[in-house]
Amino acid sequence: MGVDRTARGRSGRDPGAGPSAAGAQDRVHQLATDSRADARLRGGRIHVQEGVSGLSGRGAEAAAAIRLGRPDVREAVHCPLIQREAGEAEGATAAAAAAGAALQRAPGQEPAASARADPAHPGARQRRDPGAARRGQLRADLRRGLAHQQHRRRRPEPRHHPQGDRAAEAGEVGRAQPVRGRPASEGTAGGGGAGGAGGAGGRGGAAARRISAREIAALTNGRLVGAPDVTVSGVAPLDRAGPDDLSFLAAKRYLQYFQQSSAAIVLCKPDLVAEDAGGPACRVVVRDPHVALLSVIPVLYPEPGWQPGIHRTAVIGAGVVWQEPVAIGPYAVLGRGVRLGKNARIGAAAVLGDGVQLGDDVQLLPHVVCYSGTIVGSRVILHAGVRLGSDGFGYVPGKNGEMPRKIPQVGRCIIGDDVEIGANTTIDRGSVDDTVVGPGTKIDNLVQIGHNCRIGARCLIAGQAGIAGSTHVEDDVFLAGQAGLADHVTIGRGARVTVQGGVIGDIEPGATVSGYPARTHREFLRAQGALYRLAHIVDDLEALVRRTDEPQR
């Protein structure tokens, strides 16, 4: 804050101002120089340092005169904070107006007798402690003004949409070009789309609708037994189902739960439950309850809608092309030359390297990473944390203490149509060939597939399975949890590897293998049975040895 005296002569008065204005300017000058606000005379101006909250006494009164709207004084004092506060406070409260009027009176003028008699009047307070209460109020106002200014300084600057002029952030990042020349959208990809963890690929939190037994029978081609107007709004197992739930009975071992269940409607096989067997009275008799559920659940729990658009924090590389509509979530990164099919949904913080191609109706949940050159087909779901196209484990061992040398991984990772890959699964790119996952294959969480592998169509791979490099898995193969396949082996079409099966050689088509090393399931069961009997065999053998060692009588 400074009082400008250069244009007013030695007295600091404005030659064009009237007597009242000149007196007010002298008063402000005197108050400012006498205050404890660290005023300094520099170059014909009086500068009060920025510590506005430290103003007290008559210096605070001078600042208050500016805040309370004295235009003649505001011209003389150069402090952006106080001038802004003056503009915001003009006419704000009756108390401010009264204080301003008191400051504008001549130094010797006294308030009216009626006003002096009022204990709440500023004049009455001045007689007890002249200016103390007013200075305290003004000091508090100035502190609030300074705090507001500091808060505004801490506010982050608004960020612009990255598709425009923020090329420097990602290096050669330019404006993406949608297919058919349609303009890039700047909507917010949120809701049930790509915005958050409950986005693509899930119905998380979707409100269920109510459907009747008649509708369920029509959806499943089943035979209705019981009242057709009974309704349900959810699905639950027999032992936890409530009066608003649909349940199912698919095996005899669950009959005890059926008879005690509170479910409103039960899907059941025709040979399991007689009409007078007790349990829920409303039933829909179907051939396979599990298959019937596939028709009912999408009706009970409709998939939430998603909002097309590109979040303003997404980084879009040069030459990115898509077919609208698409949804690109917060902080997603799309490298140069990425191609997105229609209805592609890219979750928050997903990363697509240069040249990645996604088909139609692809859903990437948060934190999915597709390395450069990865190709993903249509109707693919990649759950959170999936990594496609990372380098395979290829090294040439060193000799005589030399470090292992890395084999360049120059192949691609190619995912077919209708594939679903669970959370935190990794599929390596090929070394000199491509790693390929066939159409319709479903892969669970935490699965590792090495470089150059070829996985056929419609395979089911359960959690924590591991497939070493250059292994060929033919169509319709099932790998149970923690199954392990050695490198360079072939698993025949329709083969099954049970839990923790360790495959070290080729498996015939249609075979079921178990154990380590994997053998036919029948041989595995015989070996396990013999192992359990081994303890008794040892006991019998020891008894026989003792008898032979005894001296003959």
Q: What was the pLDDT predicted at 488?
A: 96
Residue 457's CB: how many other CB atoms inside 10 A?
18
**Residue 196 half-sphere exposure, CB side, CA atoms within 13 Å?**
7
Tally: H helices and E strands in the chain: 13, 43
Contacts of 56 (CB under 8 A, 6+ apart): 35, 36, 37, 135, 139
pLDDT in tens, 346-400: 999 999 999 999 999 999 999 999 999 999 999 999 999 999 999 999 999 998 8
Mean pLDDT of 520-548: 88
Residues in the chain: 553
DSSP annotation string for 39-88: EEEETTEEEE-S-GGG--HHHHHHHHHHHTT-HHHHHHB--HHHHHHHHH
The model carries a pTM of: 0.64
Which domains occur in the chain, in start order? 2-154 (no CATH), 211-300 (3.40.1390.10)
pLDDT in tens, 147-192: 655 555 554 443 434 443 333 333 333 344 444 333 344 444 444 4
More confident residue, 325 or 118: 325
Q: If pLDDT is split at 50, 70 and 90, which confidence band does 82 have?
A: very low
Calculate the alpha carbon distances from 443 to 87, 232, 425 in Å. Answer: 65, 32, 8
Compute the distance between CA of residue 318 and CA of residue 446 in angstroms, rounded to an integer. 33
Residue 287's CB: how many other CB atoms inside 10 A?
11
Share of the chain above pLDDT 70, in %: 62
Classify strands 211-212 and 231-232 as parallel, antiparallel or unpaired. antiparallel
Say how many Å lie between the first and final Cα of the chain, rounded: 125
Helix (H) or strand (E) holding 96: helix 94-104
**DSSP designation for 306:** B
Q: What is the mean pLDDT of the chain?
A: 76
More confident residue, 354 or 198: 354
Q: If pLDDT is split at 50, 70 and 90, which confidence band does 317 have?
A: very high
Q: If pLDDT is split at 50, 70 and 90, which confidence band does 434 have?
A: very high
pLDDT in tens, 471-481: 999 999 999 99
Q: What was the pLDDT predicted at 209?
A: 87
Q: What was the pLDDT predicted at 514?
A: 96
Which residue out of 121, 383, 451, 536 is catalytically annotated?
A: 451
Q: What was the pLDDT predicted at 276?
A: 62
Residue 526's CB: how many other CB atoms inside 10 A?
12
Q: What was the pLDDT predicted at 282?
A: 94
Q: What was the pLDDT predicted at 544?
A: 86
pLDDT in tens, 135-146: 777 777 767 766
Contact indicator for 106, 124 with CB cutoff of 8 Å: no
Share of the chain above pLDDT 90, in %: 52
The answer to whether residue 328 scores a pLDDT higher than 50 is yes
Q: If pLDDT is split at 50, 70 and 90, which confidence band does 275 have?
A: low
Helix (H) or strand (E) holding 545: helix 521-549
Calculate the alpha carbon distances from 363 to 185, 305, 386, 461, 535 in Å. Answer: 19, 13, 12, 20, 55
Question: What would the two tokens of residue 46 be?
Answer: 């009086």
The answer to whether residue 6 scores a pLDDT higher than 50 is no
Q: What was the pLDDT predicted at 539?
A: 85
Instruction: Detail the DSSP E strand segments found in 383-451.
Output: 387-390, 395-396, 405-406, 413-415, 420-421, 426-428, 435-437, 442-443, 448-449
Residue 26's CB: how many other CB atoms inside 10 A?
15
Mean pLDDT of 511-522: 94
Compute the distance between CA of residue 233 and CA of residue 452 in angstroms, rounded to an integer. 47
Which of 532, 467, 473, 457 has the alpha carbon at shortest distance from 506?
A: 473
Sheet holding 466-467, edge to edge: 315-316, 333-334, 351-352, 369-370, 387-390, 426-428, 448-449, 466-467, 484-485, 502-503
Q: What was the pLDDT predicted at 133?
A: 72
pLDDT in tens, 214-265: 999 999 999 999 999 999 999 999 999 999 999 999 998 998 899 899 999 9
* Rounded-to-10 torsion of CA 443, 446, 447, 448: 140
Q: What was the pLDDT predicted at 324?
A: 92
More confident residue, 162 or 98: 98
- Residue carrying the six token digits 């027999």: 238
Q: What was the pLDDT predicted at 85?
A: 47
Mean pLDDT of 47-76: 44
Annotated catalytic residue 451: yes
Contacts of 410 (CB under 8 A, 6+ apart): 430, 431, 432
Question: What would the two tokens of residue 98 be?
Answer: 């009264």
Residue 258's CB: how many other CB atoms inside 10 A?
23
b/e map of 423-455 (b: 16 or more CB within 10 Å)? Answer: bebbbbbbbeebbbbbbbbebbbbbbbbbbbbb
In three state form, how does the secondary structure of 156-208 look?
A: CCCCCCCCCCCHHHHCCCCCCCCHHHCCCCCCCCCECCCCCCCCCCCCCCCCC
